[in-house]
A and B are shown apart, each in its own frame.
Chain A
Amino acid sequence: MVLCLVAAVVLGIVSIFSARYRTYAKEAFRCVFRMATLRKCDTDFDRKLKSAVVGRLIAKWPKFAGFVYRQFEIISWIFTIIFFVSLAYTGYSVYNLAVYNNCNGAGGGACVFVQNAQNETNCVAGDVPVSPPVYFDLNASVMFFYRDGCQWCEKEKLVLVDLSKSGYAINPMHIDAHPEYIKNYNIQVTPTFIGKNGTRLEGYQEENVLKAFLDANK
């Protein structure tokens, strides 16, 4: 029965940590194997699952239990499809987070984990994600340390917008989202730029100075 697919994944993981679930995991895997070879499940696994669910429902909602009992196969299919689709989306989001530091991938404005992108785009919980500024590049060799409410940081961003027209970009390092940056990078003031080999510029920089620094750190 199709719910074995879900059970095999869940029980397979759980049984790594607990011997108690290994017998159930074996039954679930056997059921999956039988299904994959177009044969009926010959363990009690499907029946146990169905009975466990229906048994819990029948005490309080007998009519609903009856519906679940009769439509269990269809409900199982729906649940299984939802499970695997969710699993795929979760996997995709984890991949994006690892590669792009953002759940929605390159150019995505999702706001779940990355506070610096969130603040820059005024993205708060429930908002529609907005694209980050064009001068943001997580792979850029120069890091730009800034914080909210820092006037000189805001003024520096206008410079960065101009520079972005010539293809310049910086790696944004939002201190409010990551206070550990202060200690890790020994940040004394904002804005601060740190290039390759630890070279740094502290405080607001005119466009020509910043451009030269970015050129030197290409």
Chain B
Amino acid sequence: MDVEKIRQDFPVLQKKFGGKPLIYFDNACQSLRPRQVIDEINRYYNEFPACGGRSMHKLGKRVTEEMIIARAAVAKFFGAKKPEEIVFTRNTTEAINLVANSLGFKEGDVVLTTDKEHNSNLIPWQMLANSKGIKRVITKSGKDNTFSMENFQKAMSKNVKLVSMVHTSNLDGTTIPAKEIIKIAHENGALVLLDAAQSAPHKDLNAKKLDVDFFAASGHKMLGPSGMGILYGKYNLLENMTPFITGGDTVIDTTYTSAKFEKPPAKFEAGLQDYAGMMGFAAAVQYLNNVGIENIERHEIELNKKLTEGIINLPGLSIIGPQDASLRGGITSFNINGMDPHEIAMIMDQAANIAIRSGAHCVHSWFNEHNMKGSARSSLYLYNTKEEVDIFIENLGKIVKFLKL
């Protein structure tokens, strides 16, 4: 994997901020975008900025064709049996909400999650608990915050309707053993929804191989445009789900009192869509395919090992999750005793243009449970380099050495 060549594709990496280059370690929030994705988005606006799936004129037909091509490309990337198993959404959050609101939950249904879910895979179930009376069961993590199969098996039962879990945690980068979980869930008659926001960009996520029922992912975390996500769902499941957001393009026909809904995915894609976004998403998966997702995963872990080794012995520094970087992918969440995580992030930004995230990372529940305010988090991706990691270590070292009280 030629990282320098890859970096040339990212316009923002060619810029200087205050005379210094950008060191972007906030990929768990959003990734940067390559020229190829930007050009594809521009192609829509330059060449056929019209409605898809409706209009009969040249531009409209062209958009419809590009939508089909984009959906097929994304479906192929994720190992879906057919393109109709891919529903385009705005983001992972909307995709999870779609399942929550369309799967037909009723009182007493049990939803099983982990204890470190992103708010997007926590709040929909809280809302359903309040509105429909579903029951929520939380599987506690084991030591080092890793997944505990023992606790999962204890929590699992024939009453569980859906296991909805974060595949790779945005908090600490750990990944659950999805294949085993899906097997156990299916044996108990439960469906499985994976929050794949952090796994889809960094790991081989194949719907067929995993036999997962649903997963949700965000295009903007995997080189795609902002405001694009997908829900993968097995077609037979999607077919039987009621629409979530309804309106134009979700229906074949309506009267004043009734509506005949389209088949998936159209029945879930209400209103005019982000056609440029779809095309950009397709270009993003194409780019990742060309680089090779296994290469990307290997590269991130190598960098994260170097980063971890460089900071783990800093006085007062603690890493959330396992100390072994290979178990955390490209993510390292950490705290420095006596320092506010936001301060760490802001100082790193001012000192060396190092962009990291700070705060509760939308996993407030976990931090509240552990009596913590939050953490600073670095998250790596395919275009990050060893030199950037060295600068990160150097600057974090300065912060610990000179600022720590």
* Residues of A in contact with B (beta carbons under 8 Å apart): 44, 47-48, 50-52, 54-56, 58-59, 62-63, 65-66, 69-70
Contacts and interface: CB of A to CB of B under 8 A. Distances in A.
B403 A54 contact: yes
A32 B273 CA distance: 45
Interface string B367-405: 000000000000000000000000000010011011101
B9 to A, nearest CB: 29
B398 A51 contact: no
A86 to B, nearest CB: 26
10 contacts: A44-B342, A47-B340, A47-B342, A51-B342, A54-B347, A58-B351, A58-B398, A58-B403, A62-B398, A66-B402
B319 interface: no
Given A44-B342, A58-B395, A51 B347 contact: yes
Given A47-B340, A56-B351, A69 B346 contact: no
B376 to A, nearest CB: 12
B402 A50 contact: no
Contacts of B351: 55-56, 58-59
B402 A62 contact: yes
B402 A51 contact: no
B247 to A, nearest CB: 34
B349 interface: yes
Interface of B: 340, 342-343, 346-352, 395, 398-399, 401-403, 405
Nearest to B397: A62
Contacts of B401: 62
B346 A52 contact: yes
A20 B347 CA distance: 22
B393 to A, nearest CB: 14
A55 B348 contact: yes
A33 B268 CA distance: 48
A66 B351 CA distance: 13
Contacts of B349: 55
A63 B403 CA distance: 8
The binding surface of chain B is classed by DSSP as helix
| In the A-B complex, the 8 residue pairs with the closest CB atoms | A55-B350, A51-B346, A66-B402, A55-B347, A62-B402, A69-B403, A55-B351, A59-B351
Contacts of B347: 51, 54-55, 58
Contacts of A66: 402-403
Contacts of A55: 346-351
Nearest to B345: A51
A44 B403 CA distance: 19
Nearest to A63: B402
Given A62-B398, A65-B403, A69-B403, A54 B342 contact: no
Most buried by B among A48, A50, A62: A62
A176 to B, nearest CB: 48
A48 B398 contact: no
B395 A48 contact: no
Contacts of A65: 398, 402-403
Contacts of B403: 54, 58, 65-66, 69-70
Contacts of B352: 59
Contact of B350 (A47, A51, A70): A51
A54 B398 contact: no
A55 B353 CA distance: 10
A70 B399 CA distance: 12
A51 B340 CA distance: 10
A47 B346 contact: yes
Contact of B343 (A47, A62, A63): A47
